[in-house]
Structure 1
């Protein structure tokens, strides 16, 4: 259940959730207008009215207690006992006061769907519907109400079970995503550890060995010791270069990862996202992919922060131009285009980054919003020049 959601079949976790659940549940009490009208205009004696009001208040209180305590880990027997009390109240009130009180059985079915596990709800809801039918047959003119109450009772109960299953599935999906993200982070840490070991293990071992050798040579053979120290300097410099290259590779943005992040960012901002399928990046230079990934990140950041758009379309296609094949990224939204008259620092820096990769950037307003188009070479310059 989300922090602000209603969470049918789950316990409210904070004051906001309790208020929302109270409001949502209270709306459906409008269907108690028939029993209330019967108490007000049914011609009952004062004593019967008092008992009727007490019975109705007791029923509503018990119903709220059942709905609000659902999801607290209550034993199934406790829930079944609460439903039995509600069913007994409904039967007694309907038999005593008339057919208008048959509507209470609908709430019993809804309570069963909201509080019971699916396997039991499938049995209890039809059982309550059967009790409704039997009571309607025993109440004067009750069969006239039966047709209009039996179907809502069944639909209300089973729809609640469906909503509960949907919420449970959603919660499990979120937990699975969190687990996958944790496993991915653990795998990335292991990969980083392996790469650093492969990069630095040999170099550090060689530095240690040569340091010990230089220490032993220093008193009697200073020239050889100096040579060993020079080798140590060379090995350490190469190790530093290797580490910098590895870190640059880790920090390089990738288009698939950026597309996944874009989906999350746009959805969280309430923007409908129209994204391409898994991109085919075969033969695309790393520098070109990195530049497009930066362009996508900058464009979507502007959409989320400044545009006020409700829809964003991202497209990624290969094109053949006179200068060779290019990979083109377009990001178009239906917003205002953001504040300001000229290009901001983000677009200026992005233009420079794309130019460094041999690409170009176009950005500007359209008839219905704002569009950014980034293009980068889809093949190495050397390959294009050689005709391969």
Structure 2
């Protein structure tokens, strides 16, 4: 499975927990994610700076604290160039646990906060099955160490250690699921493109295969007839001309069908264009076009494309609202497309070539176009025949 295309780029840019950053931007994002959680190191630092311990205990405390912090950051940040192997991760997590127990037992209850980081490391770096066992084990160990030191406040850390560890497993699963969904979306898009190419190949074969074979056969036949039967050869040439003209008509009709815009595709393209231009987009869901003819759908799709182009290029709008509703009018059921923005309303005093051509296209499909400058913005309303009577639930307000 490849990660090409926009969706693949999103997968490539996704920040991965428990794995090494792939660029400076990802390293900064991981650092911003990690730094707020270092607040629990304040108690051990205050304890070492308070002078409650002898010089030897303080020195070994700083060494143990530095070793713990370095190991924790190496596990979670993973900036060592490549990801650690499974056994190395297990050893480092076990080392964190041993240091947390040793420092808490020797230097006092102010060091119980280290077990929070042991729980986080278990949730971020270990396999899920192992994390589900080691996180509760870390919590129980912290409680026993706290009670051994006569510290009843250890009960207050039980829920914190447990929830933070399991929340990290949830974040891991969320990131993994998001990446898999993005990969699946990229795969679906690639399969759709492949299917479209296959359809094009089949249509071209069906359109041109017979015609080209017939042209080849008649050309060979005309070549053989030409010396002795020029009249019959001329008839074959005339047949060749007729077949080739028909093939040209078929190809043009097929190309017209491929070029025909679809409303669903134009809605998706409008979302992308407006977002890229920094315009807040409010678009409808995928429309139900069961009773709408291809000509009507194509006309609405062209109207949407023209409207969005004007919004992006000329309006300077901050918001664009697109609505698609069915209405019962005096002329029968109509499908109405409305595009409204809060921009400047354009600079021209009359309809441009785009709106003029769009009006002609809609009239040809039996529809109408209305373009209105608002006090703060511009509204374009395109209507085409819906093609079938509406039920009571489909009928909107009269046009």
Give the TM-score taking structure 2 as reference length.
0.85
C-alpha contact 1:4 1:16 (8 A) present in aligned 2: no
Name the CA distance, whole Å, in 2 between partners of 1:379 and 1:113: 58
Quote how far apart the aligned CAs of 1:305 are.
5.9
- Comparing 318-327 and 222-231, the one that deviates more: 318-327
- The residue aligned with 1:99 is 109
- The residue aligned with 1:331 is 339
Name the CA distance, whole Å, in 2 between partners of 1:119 and 1:272: 43
The 3 A distance-change label for structure 1 pair 170 and 272 is: farther
- The residue aligned with 1:191 is 199
C-alpha contact 1:332 1:371 (8 A) present in aligned 2: yes
Quote how far apart the aligned CAs of 1:250 are.
0.5
User: Larger relative CO (CA 8 A, sep 6+): 1 or 2?
Assistant: 2
Match of 2:230 among 215, 218, 222: 222
- Comparing 71-80 and 183-192, the one that deviates more: 71-80
- Comparing 87-96 and 312-321, the one that deviates more: 312-321
- After TM superposition, the runs of 4+ consecutive aligned structure 1 residues lying more than 4 A away are 1-5, 70-73, 263-274, 301-312, 341-349, 364-370
Quote how far apart the aligned CAs of 1:77 are.
2.5
Match of 2:129 among 110, 119, 122: 119
Name the CA distance, whole Å, in 1 between partners of 2:310 and 2:72: 49
Give the TM-score taking structure 1 as reference length.
0.87
The 3 A distance-change label for structure 1 pair 262 and 208 is: same
> Secondary structure of 1:143's partner?
coil
The 3 A distance-change label for structure 1 pair 63 and 269 is: farther
> Secondary structure of 1:43's partner?
coil
Quote how far apart the aligned CAs of 1:88 are.
0.8
Match of 2:145 among 124, 132, 135: 135
The 3 A distance-change label for structure 1 pair 210 and 171 is: same
Deviations 1:19-43, CA, capped at 9 Å, x for gaps:
2212221221122111111111252
The 3 A distance-change label for structure 1 pair 271 and 41 is: farther
Quote how far apart the aligned CAs of 1:286 are.
1.7
- The residue aligned with 1:238 is 246
Q: RMSD across aligned C-alpha pairs, in angstroms? A: 2.8
Name the CA distance, whole Å, in 1 between partners of 2:210 and 2:19: 56
Name the CA distance, whole Å, in 1 between partners of 2:279 and 2:115: 42
Q: Which ranges of structure 1 fall in alignment gaps of 5 or more residues? A: 381-388
C-alpha contact 1:93 1:101 (8 A) present in aligned 2: yes
Name the CA distance, whole Å, in 2 between partners of 1:80 and 1:305: 57
